[in-house]
Amino acid sequence: MNGAGRYHLLLTSDGRPVQHGWWSNEAVARDKCRRWIGSVGTMPTPRVTLTDEETGTVLTAWPETS
């Protein structure tokens, strides 16, 4: 696990990393996730994922895949 926090947020465009961050507080990480989703604009093929690095669980991913 990264020493900066348990919750890792990653924004990709066309499969390439654009921005990421680590937070210790899940509520703060989820708020950042919502903000990032709202800011992708016309970015090609955006994807936002929030992962609990302690458990390896993806907590949320946008857009949702079926």
Q: What are 9-39's pLDDT values in tens digits?
A: 999 999 999 999 999 999 999 999 999 999 9
Q: State which H helix or E strand residue 13 sits in.
A: strand 7-13
> For residue 7, what are the CA distances in angstroms to 10, 42, 44, 66?
10, 26, 25, 24
Report yes or no on 2 lying in a domain: no
pTM here is: 0.88
Indicate whether 54 belongs to any domain: yes
- The answer to whether position 1 is within a domain reads no
* Residue 47 placed within a domain: yes
* Whole-number Å distance between alpha carbons of 49 and 9: 6
Domain of residue 40: give its range: 7-62
- Residue 51 inside a domain? The answer is yes
Other C-beta atoms closer than 10 Å to the C-beta of 15 total 8
Count structural domains, the chain: 1
